Amino acid sequence: MSGENKVTLAMGAGGKQTAELIDRVFARRFASSLLTADDAAVLDAPRGRMAMSTDGFIVSPSFFAGGNIGKLSICGTVNDLACMGARPLYLTCAFVIEEGYPLDKLEQIADSMAATAAEVGVTLVAGDTKVAGRGQVDGVFITTTGVGEILEGVAPAGDKAMPGDAIIVTGDVGRHGCTILLERDDFGIEADVTSDCAPLWGSVEAMFLETHDIHVIRDATRGGVGTVLYEIAGQSGVGVELDAASIPVDPAVGGVCRMLGLEPLYLACEGRLVVIAPQDVAPAIVDALRACPHSQGAEVIGRVVADRPGWVVLNTEVGTQTLLPQPTGELLPRIC
């Protein structure tokens, strides 16, 4: 029967069919000693200070080149924790699924979540599954919440950027936003672009093994690297100066941006960090990042300055300075 291959309202009603759905799709993939059938997970407390974060994922389309909403939902929360210097320990996930959603796609999403969580070493400890009627939700929405253990002696924060610091990005910018834009096919443009969606705890841990002298770590999600830099400039009361020629941009992303008049610095990333640290440790940080699989393209792209606090200035390819236009909000709805 075709009905058996799709999510039904009964599967979200809390009865036997819900148990079957959880068993078939989630339990076997997320299995661990911490994930039980009880009402709440019972966990060891982290040593020292902990970080906690939550994020909802509604990306459209839910499958895209380089990932899907499941992988994204793990990466998003893992990366938020990582930015605080926290080793991700536990995650919970809540699904809202549209009636009629194909079960095999749901299984692919769960596969991606399990694989990404395993790569990071984070454990899925609790979950929730709800089914909404057709049209009441678009496909599948996921919310993840995570708890991480902050490394000892580490406290990066957005208000700690200091004049003289180097600004590093962990790879080429704007790929996730460009990928989603192309997947929507509003422009009839074809280009070979893959989302940068990736979990970055490994990259963060590698940096802190090298030095604890890191002032700011931010993941550049919805508003892209440009928005993050304006936020940091505001929080720290400093200016930011970028060298346009050193900002890594995939050639296909650059081509799409030129066609559509978009600024790659304002396209979303889902696997890129902005790292701000003193100039003298920057080379070691870049080397450590480049040795990790998801940050091989790390580059120093500029520096923190005392001039023009709150502004991001670009040194252009013709040797002049211009402002990076201020962020104007999301370019695309439902990017993550």
Partner 1 sequence: MSDERAQKRPSAVEILATYDGPPLRIMEVCGTHTHEIFRLGIRKLLPPQVELISGPGCPVCVTPVGFIDEAIWLAAHGATITTFGDLVRVPGTSGSLATARAEGGRIQVVYSPLDAVTYAREHVDEQVVFLSVGFETTVPAACLAVDQALAEGIANFSLLTANKTMPNAYAALKDSADVFLYPGHVHAITGTQLCEDLADQGVSGVLAGFTAKELVTALAVAVRKGGEGRPFFVNAYPRVVRPEGSPAAVALIDKLMEPCDTEWRGLGVIPQSGLKLREEYASVDARRVFDMPHIEGRANPACRCGEVLQGKCKPSDCPLFGRGCTPQHPVGACMVSGEGACSAYYQYGGEVL
Q: Which residue ranges make up the site for partner 1 (CB under 8 A)?
A: 186-188, 261, 308, 311, 313, 316-323, 325-326, 328
Tell me how far apart the alpha carbons of residues 82 and 80 are, in angstroms, rounded to a whole number. 5
The residue (of 66 and 309) whose beta carbon lies closer to partner 1 is: 309
The residue (of 279 and 322) whose beta carbon lies closer to partner 1 is: 322
- 86 near 200, Cβ under 8 Å? no
Measured from the CB of residue 335, what is the shortest distance to partner 1 in angstroms?
18
Measured from the CB of residue 40, what is the shortest distance to partner 1 in angstroms?
45
Exposed e or buried b per residue across 239-264, where buried means at least 16 C-beta atoms within 10 angstroms of its C-beta: bbbbbbeebbbbebbbebbeeeebbb
The residue (of 153 and 319) whose beta carbon lies closer to partner 1 is: 319
Strands of 186-309, DSSP E: 216-219, 239-243, 273-278, 299-305
The residue (of 11 and 324) whose beta carbon lies closer to partner 1 is: 324
As a whole number of Å, the end-to-end CA separation of the chain is 34
Measured from the CB of residue 149, what is the shortest distance to partner 1 in angstroms?
42
The token pair at 113 is: 């979540």
Residue of 219, 215, 170, 206 lying closest to 87 (CA atoms): 206
Measured from the CB of residue 246, what is the shortest distance to partner 1 in angstroms?
16
The residue (of 130 and 308) whose beta carbon lies closer to partner 1 is: 308
Strands of 99-238, DSSP E: 123-132, 140-150, 165-169, 216-219
- 256 near 184, Cβ under 8 Å? no
The token pair at 43 is: 């966990």
The token pair at 47 is: 């040593």
The residue (of 2 and 320) whose beta carbon lies closer to partner 1 is: 320
Measured from the CB of residue 230, what is the shortest distance to partner 1 in angstroms?
13
Measured from the CB of residue 193, what is the shortest distance to partner 1 in angstroms?
18
As beta bridge partners, residue 273 has: 219
Measured from the CB of residue 290, what is the shortest distance to partner 1 in angstroms?
29
Strand order across the beta sheet in which 50-57 lies: 50-57, 140-150, 86-98, 123-132
Measured from the CB of residue 303, what is the shortest distance to partner 1 in angstroms?
17
The residue (of 100 and 254) whose beta carbon lies closer to partner 1 is: 254
Other beta carbons within 10 Å of 187:
11
The residue (of 84 and 267) whose beta carbon lies closer to partner 1 is: 267
